[in-house]
Amino acid sequence: MMNKRDWTIGITHLIKPSFDPENAAFQGRADFVYFPSRHEADFPMGALPPLDAFLVWTPSISVNTINQLSNCKIIVRYGVGYDKIDLTGLDRAGIAFSNNPEYGPEDVADTAMGLILALQRRLVQHNALAKGYSDTWQENHLTPMLHSPRTTVGIVGLGRIGTSVARRLAPFGYKVVAYDPYISNGMFRALQVERIAALEELVERVDVLTLHCPLTAETESMIDRQVLDRAKPGLLLVNTARGKLISSLDTIEHCLRNGQIGGVGLDALPEEPPGPHPLIEAWRQDEDWTKGRVIITPHNAFFSDDSMYECRFAAAETARLFLEEGIQRNRVAAP
């Protein structure tokens, strides 16, 4: 075991000093170098070569950065997704890579449930309209309104978060079905979730579709206009995973306007923060056709005070274990 501060650890944007969770994980034996920029192009390159490990959140890590990491043994992403990490480049450079999947599945699942219930019960729209009621009150119903025991929810991705969502859906009385070709039949049976063999079949069956899979070459743009055209009119679509699982904001806007999608709850967008787009502008201006139908949150489904500490400690501990004991948790191999 190390007896002094022998490690130099880089920490990127989204994490802010002080680095108490990281210091706790390294048991006071590391110095930390902060990279506050959202973009790797702005990294001070002279600060990269001394790093023994790099803890990464927002920025992409391309070969331009990798070529400067001459002493780095491992990169650990604070989050689960790794679509912005050049895994092949890391492999060629002999740098290990791990993600951080353990933290916060409950928080993301809670957010997904909140979005499902808000859309199903039309809570945002009720809240806005109720401000203008004076002579009437309880008789102001909104239709259509789904009834949970007669509603089928489809989950795409039955990993840690998808499983947490399935467990939350069951007590509400929903019928739960899922598509995930990589999960065993035993898991489906243990959760009492019906397995659907194809994404297209899943979409045809459900009233609510919630996405919980990683962004990969296989899953990018998996929810496109052709898939959504197979859905029941009025589908409620929730995405707390990655924005690019859905082909484009154009697809969402088109399907909302023609009624194929009844409402969307999005914690992840293709571009963050979002650039100019008619759907985003309509949402910002609270245009009538979006009221209660478009709920967007700023990619913070993972967050709670407790889960953020867990996330930071676990990522740093993964780096420490690799540097000091040669143990690599949550290894992600190059394709």
Q: In what order do the strands lie in the sheet with 7-12?
A: 30-35, 7-12, 53-56, 74-77, 96-98
**Domains along the chain with CATH numbers:** 7-103+304-325 (3.40.50.720), 105-296 (3.40.50.720)
pLDDT value of position 161: 95
Are 249 and 270 within 8 A, CB to CB?
yes
Are 182 and 167 within 8 A, CB to CB?
no
Active site includes 277?
A: no
Global confidence as pTM: 0.89
Which of 160, 205, 212, 242 is labelled catalytic?
Answer: 242
pLDDT value of position 28: 95
pLDDT value of position 1: 45
Active site includes 106?
A: no
Active site includes 39?
A: no
Residue 150, token pair as written in the block: 């007669």
Of 149, 120, 146, 148, the C-alpha closest to 237 is 120
Which of 126, 195, 225, 299 is labelled catalytic?
Answer: 299
Scored b (16 or more CB within 10 A) or e, 81-119 reads bbeebbbebbeeeebbbbbbbbbbbbbbbbbbbbbbebb
pLDDT value of position 218: 95
Does the CA dihedral 294-306-113-224 come out positive or negative? positive
Which of 272, 281, 284, 287 is labelled catalytic?
Answer: 272
Residue 163, token pair as written in the block: 């499983």
Under-70 pLDDT residues of the chain:
1-5
pLDDT value of position 307: 94
